[in-house]
Homo-oligomer: A and B are copies of this chain.
Amino acid sequence: MTKTIAHELAKKQKEISIAEFFERNKHILGFGNPTRALVTAVKEAVDNSLDACEEARILPDILVEIHTKGEDGECKIIVEDNGPGIIKRQIPLVFGKLLYGSRFHAIRQSRGQQGIGISAVVLYGQLSTGKHTLVLSKIGEKQPAHLYELAIDTNKNTPEIVRNEIVTWEKEHGTRIEITIHGDYKRGRHFLYDYLQSTSIVNPHAQITFVEPNGDKHLFERVTDTLPAPTVELKKPHPQGIELGTLIKMAKHTSNRKLSTFLKKEFTSMGERTTDAVCRIAGLDKDANPKELTREEFIRLHKAFKKVKIMAPPTDCLSPIGETLIKRSLKHETREISPEFIVATTRPPSVYSGHPFQVEAGIVYGGKLDPNSPVKILRFANRVPLLYQQGGCVSTAALSDIDW
């Protein structure tokens, strides 16, 4: 067979591991520069702590400590929580394997569905400083505390356990991590402080202590002892929020042999009558085998979802903060300004193409606020501060248009 140029080029075509992909693309994953990397690292850890506490119905008490005493440009980040802890077997996987975690699966309001997770921080630390990550976790009063020193094998995307021992930890339960990264504390401090303050505002039930490298301590106090209402996992998708490709994938993997059963069992809000109407409008037999539909039939089905009036999905997967607590949080965090006017609102839940959502907002005005300084906008999604691309946001655009 003739060797063509294509054969030559084929030699270079091979697979890379997700860890190598991360190395190449760290800028899009939040580690583009040492300032941003510092904030991303703390954020991934704090989001994990808040989510774990919320799932375990524990009032979060989180310590964030930064040390810059080591090598030039190195920041040691310590994040410690009083959460439920992580069982021994899972510790190396949660911190030492990319794309492993609990946050990727559920359809509910949780903080870290997006992004690449805490193991990416471990990897970034390892790549930029060569240092291993320390994880200490304890799951209950009478349980041992496990200390792990971890690295990531980037070729195989598996955790390397450098050290693993049982230690004494006076804490009843919780997790403490120490990750050293190449970070810029001088430039990052301001963003970090803002991130922690904002996080505290939208998590009034959380207590966050921030210890700076020089020992300065900031306490973002808990303003309520009431945990957010537990969110219910939305186990099934709503027909109006599904993409055609996902619908086809679901139908291919279903164990239901009839279209009507498939629709009723695997989607939310699909009762007998709605299912009948959808099938009729799509011109499909209710008893057809969903696995055997043609692409054209799926397209008709997908269109019928939009034509039939389908009940909105339940909104108990949402957990709003509530007007009282937003106001209390804002008042507490702006106490140095003593604003004249603090108002907050929680709109009723709504649904956009099958996705439940709810809008909450608060405004602080007057007092010692400098009338000449620009408006400060804090934006959030799922109780997580949005730190970047402020300009791309519709609320920023609307706020800039108002003549304050």
* A245 lies within 8 A of chain B by Cβ: yes
Q: Which residues of B contact A87 (CB under 8 A)?
A: 4, 6-7, 10
Q: In whole angstroms, how far apart are the Cα atoms of A86 and B10 in the complex?
A: 7
Q: Select from chain B the residue with minimum beta-carbon distance to A251.
A: B130
Q: Is the CB–CB distance between B71 and A299 below 8 Å?
A: yes
Known A-B contacts A25-B114, A127-B243; the reply to A55 vs B139 at CB < 8 A is no
A residues 180-194 in Cβ contact with B at 8 Å: 182
Chain B's closest residue to A106 (CB) is B12
Q: In the complex the two chains form, is A102's CB within 8 Å of B299's CB?
A: no
Given contacts A10-B90, A56-B5, A143-B4, contact A130 B97 (CB under 8 A): no
Minimal Cβ-Cβ distance residue in B for A93: B13
A100 cross-chain contacts in B, Cβ below 8 A: 13-16
Cβ of A230 within 8 Å of any chain B Cβ, yes or no, is: no
Instruction: Flag if A245 contacts B86 (CB, 8 Å).
Output: no
CA distance A84 to B299 in the complex (A): 37
Q: For the complex formed, measure the closest distance between the CB of A199 and the CB atoms of chain B, giving whole angstroms.
A: 21
**Which residues of B lie under 8 Å from residue A372 when comparing CB positions?**
none
The verdict on A126 contacting B245 (CB below 8 Å), with A13-B101, A71-B299 known, is yes
Q: Are B85 and A6 in contact (CB under 8 A)?
A: yes
Additional pairs, 4, CB under 8 Å, beyond known A7-B139, A9-B52:
A2-B140, A6-B84, A7-B87, A13-B94
> Could you list some 13 contacts between A and B, CB below 8 A?
A2-B140, A4-B173, A5-B55, A6-B87, A9-B56, A10-B89, A16-B100, A18-B18, A27-B114, A71-B299, A130-B244, A131-B295, A182-B243
